[in-house]
Amino acid sequence: MLKLLLKTRFDMFFGSVSQGKRKKTASPLGKVMLILLFAFLAIYFTAVMTILFVGIGRETAGTDAEYSIFALAVLVSIGITLFDSIFTVKTQIYESKDNELLLSLPIEPKYIFISRLLFLFIVNYLLEAVVMLPAMVIYGIFIGYNVMGFVYSVVIFLAIPLLSLSLSSFIAWIVSVIASKIKNKTLVTTVLFAGAFGAYMYLISVMGPSGDMEEGAIDMSRFKDMFLIGWGAKAMTYGDTLSFVLFIAACIIPAILAYVILNKTFIKLITVSRGTVKTKYKEKAEKAEGVFIALIKKELKRFVSSSMYMINSGMGIVMMVVFTVMLCVTGNEMFAEIDGVDVSFLIPAICFALLALGSSMILISTPSISLEDRNLWIVQSLPVRGAHALLAKVSSHMIISTPFIIICSLILSIGFKISVINSILLLVSSVVTSAFFAYFGMLLGLLFPKFDWQNENVAVKQGFAIFGSMFGGMVWALLMSGIVVILSFISFIIGAIAVTLLNAGMCVAIHMYFLKKGEKRFALLKQ
């Protein structure tokens, strides 16, 4: 039974990202293409990590900093597995659409729970392998293991997902308990998940590698005595038994506690009746609104009603604000380090690149059709043009993202004392570029909708539309940034006007497609 449930989880995963236009199961060709895509990404990121560790291994071999490879590998491994799990545990375990169906079958609930944990474990091991395996191989080549260090390295590799999954499970359990007792669970979920992500980013910035990186010098001394990271690094490097025991205990004890607590509360939390909040009716006059405004309000309410939608699709907004502040704080020092070269004329172009890349990570419009799910027929049956429904989704994307782009643009302009004309062009070009990403995401969402998801996390994170919008948008942002940087050697004004006109032209083309063919395609979509 456990094997069958686990197979079902993987079938659902492949089906959600590779199904045909109207198929309910993944096509064989879709599975093959998906596997090839994942293989390419795994090889690419493995190569990147290998190059990084080769550089560290060459510089630290034969020194007191040989632990640096494993310290960085453990830190990154915990980070990526925790980051992945923290956004998936809650929806995979507590909010899956097939919970009630599976509980109605003659299946022990513990097998349902365990199968979902195993699925997440396998995903985490694959993510961890991209980092840890290159580190272990490069360490063996450039530095060399002792016997116990090699044994401890293998065991620590197996133990890291226990830690990340148990921590994310605790967070998901706390959020689910709180959400089951209050009305506005979306706000609580968003705040807690955002707080956890912010705390991790803060720890990375505080405890990360530091020091003079010139002439190949690498200072990672803070890693050696760091809680948990230092234990793992010393155990793998020196075969330190005490550090190994402490690291394994820090992984296993939370895992046991998480399993016991979640296993006992699984049924209660997924079957709890949240009821409805009684409100006192007050008679008041309603203001008449246009149909298009009503559709926009519907999209905005849908966005703020789902914590997973807000966190995953709106993460680009957070990253944009964070990197804007970081650039303003460290940018002047960074530019000052380029001795004898005046690069001040590139500052507006660099600011545009930051805002463009941030906008490319905002994916609000892309999954909006897929999230309609069983309610799609309602929108299709309304006496409104299908093009208006699509444009309302684009407009809601812009309403949410534009204020942050304006704020970040103003912060950058003031922080770097950019001239008035360049500041205006930075703002206009960034907003128009963001509009292109809204239209582009909506176009992919229309062409490649996914309606067979079992939880919202799948709808907003998986599928060709999401993948294409994320990576295609990033490529487009880099292309636009390159154009601005190159033309800035002549004048930033020319570069900003060029990308503004190019993005505006693309927006008009997609807009016309929505008005002519897009609404027909939308009307024919079936859940």
Distance CA 102, CA 347 (A): 56
At residue 340 the predicted structure's pLDDT band, cuts being 50, 70 and 90, is low
Distance CA 154, CA 135 (A): 12
Residues of the chain above pLDDT 90, percent:
28
Question: In this model, does residue 350 exceed pLDDT 50?
Answer: yes
DSSP string for residues in 44-68: HHHHHHHHHHHHHHHHHTTSTTTTH
Q: Which 8-state DSSP code applies to residue 182? A: S
Question: In this model, does residue 275 exceed pLDDT 50?
Answer: no
State pLDDT tens for residues 183-212: 555 666 666 666 666 665 555 555 444 444
Distance CA 63, CA 70 (A): 14
Cβ pair 306, 185 in contact under 8 A: no
At residue 15 the predicted structure's pLDDT band, cuts being 50, 70 and 90, is low
Question: What local confidence, expressed as pLDDT, does residue 499 receive?
Answer: 96
Distance CA 344, CA 334 (A): 11
- Comparing CA positions, the residue from 339, 441, 356, 433 lying closest to residue 390 is 441
Question: In this model, does residue 273 exceed pLDDT 60?
Answer: no
Task: State the average pLDDT over residues 224-229.
Answer: 77
Q: How many helices (H) and strands (E) does the chain have?
A: 23, 0
Longest dimension (CA), the chain: 79
Long-range contacts (CB closer than 8 Å, 24 or more residues apart) made by 329-335: 331/415, 331/416, 332/416
State pLDDT tens for residues 369-386: 888 877 777 777 777 788
Distance CA 361, CA 473 (A): 8
Task: State the average pLDDT over residues 128-156.
Answer: 91
DSSP string for residues in 8-28: HHHHHHHHHHHB-SS-SSB-H
Question: What local confidence, expressed as pLDDT, does residue 209 receive?
Answer: 47
Question: What local confidence, expressed as pLDDT, does residue 443 receive?
Answer: 93
Beta bridge partners of 26: 19
| Helices within 87-184 (DSSP H only) | 89, 99-103, 109-142, 147-179
Question: In this model, does residue 276 exceed pLDDT 60?
Answer: no
Question: In this model, does residue 470 exceed pLDDT 50?
Answer: yes
* Token duo for residue 447: 């062409």
Cβ pair 86, 171 in contact under 8 A: yes
Model pTM score: 0.64
Distance CA 155, CA 146 (A): 15
- Comparing CA positions, the residue from 235, 272, 215 lying closest to residue 55 is 215
- Comparing CA positions, the residue from 187, 462, 252, 474 lying closest to residue 359 is 474
Distance CA 140, CA 149 (A): 10
Can you state the angle between helices 68-86 and 147-179, rounded to 10 degrees? Answer: 20
For the chain, state the CA radius of gyration.
25
Distance CA 501, CA 249 (A): 59
Residues near 183 by Cβ (< 8 Å), separated by ≥ 6? 277
* Cα dist from 276 to 177, 187, 229, 267, 284, whole Å: 17, 17, 46, 21, 22
Question: In this model, does residue 160 exceed pLDDT 80?
Answer: yes
| Phi, psi for 26 (deg, rounded to 5) | -70, 140
Cβ pair 185, 307 in contact under 8 A: yes
Tally the C-alpha atoms within 13 A of residue 505's C-alpha that lie toward its C-beta. Answer: 6
Distance CA 401, CA 496 (A): 20
Q: Which of 80-89, 194-203, 285-294 has the highest mean pLDDT?
A: 80-89
Round to the nearest angstrom and report the end-to-end CA distance of the chain: 30
| Helices within 448-491 (DSSP H only) | 456-461, 464-467, 473-488
Q: Per this entry, what is the length of the chain?
A: 527
- Comparing CA positions, the residue from 524, 494, 481, 202 lying closest to residue 350 is 481
- Comparing CA positions, the residue from 383, 396, 360 lying closest to residue 469 is 360
Cβ pair 38, 14 in contact under 8 A: no
- Comparing CA positions, the residue from 191, 223, 192, 218 lying closest to residue 206 is 223
Give the amino acid at 217.
Answer: A
For 438-473, letters b (16+ CB in 10 Å) and e give: bbbbbbbbbebbbbbbbbbbbbbbbbbbbbbbbeeb
